[in-house]
Amino acid sequence: MHYRELSVPGAWEITPKQHGDPRGVFLEYFKGGPFAEATGHAFDLQQANCSVSAAGVLRGIHFADVPPGQAKYVTCAKGAVLDVVVDIRVGSPTFGRWDTVLLDDTDRRAIYLGEGLGHAFMSLEDDSTVLYLCSTGYAPGREHGIHPLDPEIGITWPTTARDGSPLTPQLSEKDTAAPTLAEARAAGLLPDAAVVEEYVQGLRDRARGA
């Protein structure tokens, strides 16, 4: 299992080792030890989600208030999605930066997004099945969104599906009505980088028994 930190600090791409034979494939897509070595703290699993999406479905950009935020460890069990992390932490040196990881049923990578980061993905194939491990449970009052097509962020979304057919973004009513990054910042919805760092440092201190 190999961890690679992305260009957005606090997010990692995880590539598992696959064991295949004529029967199929076995892999460990999450292990507590390597996770703690990479991030400096344990992952406190509180909720596990599964979504199934048609080709072109675009979910996000979603985030939660910090503290406690909602860290996510995400993989794609079937199909393929382009997963995107966005730095929405006000005061961060990389504020507004985004990075991507292709999650699919070939390389079977995962992505970890720490507290205070924005998360979105686009499905590249019908019935793409995404599994999320979450550090906190769903709490509607502290969940927020940013429009995934906001030109200020400028995410380069795929225009071609896995089979070569054209993709048209399909958004939920909630995501379509989401504010831009600038509007969310003006409304005071975005997490503060210093608050996020203090919270994550607290997780690391507890892991060390400080």
The string of DSSP letters for 46-82 reads: -EEEEEEE-TTBEEEEEEE-TTT---EEEEEEESEEE
Token couple for 120: 């979105």
Cα gap 116→189, rounded to integer Å: 11
Active site residue 144: no
Q: Which of 62, 119, 144, 147 is catalytic?
A: 62
pLDDT in the model for residue 210: 59
Domain boundaries, the chain: 2-205
The pLDDT tens digits along the chain (210 residues) read 999 999 999 999 999 999 999 999 999 999 999 999 999 999 999 999 999 999 999 999 999 999 999 999 999 999 999 999 999 999 999 999 999 999 999 999 999 999 999 999 999 999 999 999 999 999 999 999 999 999 999 999 999 999 999 999 999 999 999 999 999 999 999 999 999 999 999 999 998 885
Burial pattern 96-128, b for ≥16 Cβ within 10 A else e, equals: bbbbbbbbbeeebbbbbbbbbbbbbbbbbbeeb
Q: Which of 3, 29, 112, 132 is catalytic?
A: 132
> What is the CATH T-level fold of the domain 2-205, as seen in this structure?
Jelly Rolls (2.60.120)
3-class DSSP state of 4: strand
Contact 191, 89 (CB under 8 A): yes
**Pairing mode, if any, of strands 128-134 and 143-145?**
unpaired
